[in-house]
Amino acid sequence: MQEIGKISLKNNGGFVVRLEFEHYNDATGKWIRTGGTGDITVGFSKTASPGEHGVPDGCMVRLHVNVIWGSDKTSTEMFIYKSGSNNVAGYAISGTTLNNHLEFRGVSSANLFAGPMDGDSDSISLEQANALFDYSGISDEQMDEVKANLESSPLAQSGSYGPISWDVGFHLDPKDITKSSVDVKISVLSFNIINAHLDAQNPKATADLSVGGIGVVAELGVDFSKRLVYLRGTLDFDAYKKKFDLTILKF
């Protein structure tokens, strides 16, 4: 059984997850779940050491993905946790809250699967980022062709968080990021509550209504300085309120 020092999880599913651990207790013959990272929103990844979350050194360990308001996933792969090991087991989760898929991406001595070690990564790959933002040495004609291709094939993304779901189309202007635009549809229980076109002149949209017994107060916005599209607000059930602050796209 392979030794690892950390586990990495990339969230490609458009919902919120938490990276947690399970380790095998020889005395009881049972798997014990321990704590893990905080929320991982769509497009982000986190890397964590089992030992920092209650897993004893030398134990058999596996990944448990806590899918908020959805169906959890537990890896079928098992490893031996070794403190100080440089090996990282990489995973990615995709799909919807109730129909998701956990993919094992292998073990590496460096986290090649989900961005910087112990940190967040953009929702696009490093190769895509370089292709989008590194235009040194190309002609204006080539730049115009790249821009035309991006505008005709916008970056698209869908996701969900509990009863909230969204569809995003992002039109990137590689010459001037502030000239980019975003088309976003936000729905609650399949009822559309926001259908907005956001750009530098119109960076925000709001919703304040009740759908299917759930009250929703939300602000949708694009932040060009942080290069993200966010959705924040409050869900109000009969006797329960939950605040949310989601990054639904990074660019």
121-137, pLDDT tens digit by residue? 333 333 343 343 444 44
Q: Name the helix (H) or strand (E) containing 66.
A: strand 60-67
CA distance 110 to 28: 34
C-alpha to C-alpha distances, 101 to 21, 66, 81, 236, nearest whole angstrom = 18, 13, 24, 30
What is the average pLDDT value for the chain, to the nearest integer?
A: 79
Q: Specify the higher pLDDT residue, 112 or 221.
A: 221
Q: What is the pLDDT of residues 34-66, one digit of tens each?
A: 988 888 888 788 889 999 999 999 999 999 999
Query: b/e for 224-239, b at 16 or more Cβ within 10 A?
Result: eeeebbbbebebeeee
pLDDT of res. 130 = 38
Quote the pLDDT of residue 18: 93
**Mean pLDDT (whole number) for 214-222:** 89
Domain ranges for the chain, please list them: 3-108, 126-250
DSSP codes of every residue in 99-143: SEEEEEEEEESS--SSSSTTS---SS-HHHHHHHH--TT--HHHH
Q: Which CATH number fits domain 3-108: 2.60.40, 2.40.50, 3.30.70, 3.40.50?
A: 2.60.40
* 53 vs 150: CA distance, rounded Å: 42
Q: State pLDDT tens for residues 82-132.
A: 998 988 999 999 988 888 999 998 887 643 333 333 333 333 333 343 343
What is residue 62's predicted lDDT score, i.e. its pLDDT?
96
